[in-house]
Structure 1
Amino acid sequence: MARKSLVVEVADDLLERIIAGEFPPGSPVPGELDLAERHEVSRMTVREAVKTLTAQNIVRVERGRGTFVNPVSRWSSLHAVLRATNEGTDGGDSAVKLIELRRMLETGAAELAAPRISDGELAELRGTVGLMRQARAAADLKRFVEADLAFHDLVLRASGNPFVVVVLEPLSQVLAERRSETSAVPVIQDHAIEMHEAVCAALAGHDPQAARAAMDAHMQQTLDDLKAYVLRR
């Protein structure tokens, strides 16, 4: 058990250094001897740690050359990708990619939800929009973000497809942090309320294509606002 914790410690430290940009994609990572001295562990422990990162496609071993960092696009560990997204040096690019992922999943979820959503769920959706309005008037960012996230969670669950919810659940912490960043801008809050109302109206009409279009417009507005007011692109 103690040996396993050392392996995790070495792997986690190396991953942290990769995410921080110390070892960018394509660059070699330190050799076994260097890592063993840094952590005061055996080379066998280091070897197991590197195997852990290799199994997740974070690094690759090239025989006779060394161990090299793969680009994040090749990583197969959701946990590692989330850490790179949340802690990496290029937060702006990560934020854009996160919206792209949401756009793919949430537009489809809205389309599925339109014919399935119940009157009770619609009432809950309208309630979250009301809470967003109240929070906007009170300049309460925390309550605004909570209501915003609750709205989208309701749409995902109303889709009736549990896989959609499961896929986005690990992103909940990152989504909350990104929402707090973007929703700190008052005009973005105004746009979000307007777009949520449009999605709500489309779902109330039980029109799948209208619901998909409304959610897509919301995602586009979110992306435009991110670039215009947060990233200043």
Structure 2
Amino acid sequence: MARKSLAGEVADGLLDRIVAGELPPGSVVPGELELSSRYDVSRMTVREAIRTLTAQNILRIERGRGTFVNPLERWSSLHAVLRATSEGTDASDAAVQLIELRRMLEAGACGLAAERISDQDLAALDALVDQMREARRAQDLERFVEADLAFHDVILHASGNPFVAVLFEPLSRVLAERRSETSAVPEIQEHAIAMHVAVGEALRRRDPEAARAAMDAHMQQTLDDLRTYILNR
């Protein structure tokens, strides 16, 4: 792997401080002199780092006023948003927003999959639901999460749209971390298995509307469980 440039290291350092809440949205970024001293780099390197974060809409430059941190919803870097989602201080809000994103994309993907899914994929879904049941009985959280994620991955690929799987690939690490937290609750495991069964049945009927509705209901149940058992709200 290529070594990160000095400007890239400074940009990462600033992003770390933003994600940690040290530089919250709307705050002014320290000046070039202070940053060059803090990171022991030239002012030109600092400028390049600032340009990098500005290009990703993480920062904005206001002439005559300074450089400011933008709110998360304005960021255009998926990598940076994922870091904020998994490491930031607003983890509860981020968890809800992640389910909202999944709901928009996965319901549509499930509808496409209903028209295109193969018998082999359907058999794989059945096997993964069985694996979830076995893992629940054995209290094997890691295996349960693995089967859960694989179930959704089969559907994303069965949609036949390569962009869908590509969009979800960067989310895999965050999804695994979230599932490990939520799936530790026995009631959530029970609900997840029931919802996966319903999704599989709709796909087996090759009914796009039913498949979309089943996945949408699954996402709603996931959101309800998150609020009830994890966020307590």
TM-score range, shorter chain: over 0.9
- Matched residues in 2 for 1:22 and 1:72: separation? 14
Quote the offset at 1:119 in angstroms: 1.0
Q: 1:32, 1:46 within 8 Å by CA — same for their partners in 2?
A: yes
- Matched residues in 2 for 1:149 and 1:3: separation? 32
Q: Which residue of 1 aligns with 2:226?
A: 226
Asked if residue 76 in structure 1 is aligned to residue 82 in structure 2, the reply is no
Change (3 A) 1:89 1:116: same
Alignment size in residue pairs: 232
Q: Which residue of 1 aligns with 2:33?
A: 33
- Matched residues in 1 for 2:97 and 2:90: separation? 11
Alignment of 1:144-163 (within 5 A): 144-163=144-163
Alignment of 1:199-218 (within 5 A): 199-218=199-218
Amino acid of the structure 2 residue aligned with 1:44:
M
Q: Which residue of 2 aligns with 1:23?
A: 23
Q: Which residue of 2 aligns with 1:11?
A: 11
Q: Which residue of 2 aligns with 1:53?
A: 53
Secondary structure in structure 2 of the residue aligned to 1:61:
strand
Quote the offset at 1:5 in angstroms: 1.6
Q: 1:182, 1:226 within 8 Å by CA — same for their partners in 2?
A: yes
- Matched residues in 2 for 1:118 and 1:37: separation? 59
Quote the offset at 1:6 in angstroms: 1.1
Change (3 A) 1:103 1:3: closer
Structure 1 unpaired stretches of 5+: none
State the identity %.
Answer: 74
Secondary structure in structure 2 of the residue aligned to 1:199:
helix
Amino acid of the structure 2 residue aligned with 1:123:
A
Q: Which residue of 1 aligns with 2:194?
A: 194
Could you tell me the TM-score, scaled by structure 2's length?
0.98
Task: Report Cα offsets for 1:138-183 as digits up to 9, x if no partner.
Answer: 0000000000000000011111111111111110000110110100
- Matched residues in 2 for 1:121 and 1:182: separation? 26
Could you tell me the TM-score, scaled by structure 1's length?
0.98
Runs of 4+ in structure 1 deviating by more than 3 angstroms, as ranges, are: none
- Matched residues in 2 for 1:34 and 1:172: separation? 37
Quote the offset at 1:4 in angstroms: 6.7
RMSD (Å), alpha carbons = 1.2
Change (3 A) 1:126 1:150: same
Q: 1:3, 1:45 within 8 Å by CA — same for their partners in 2?
A: no
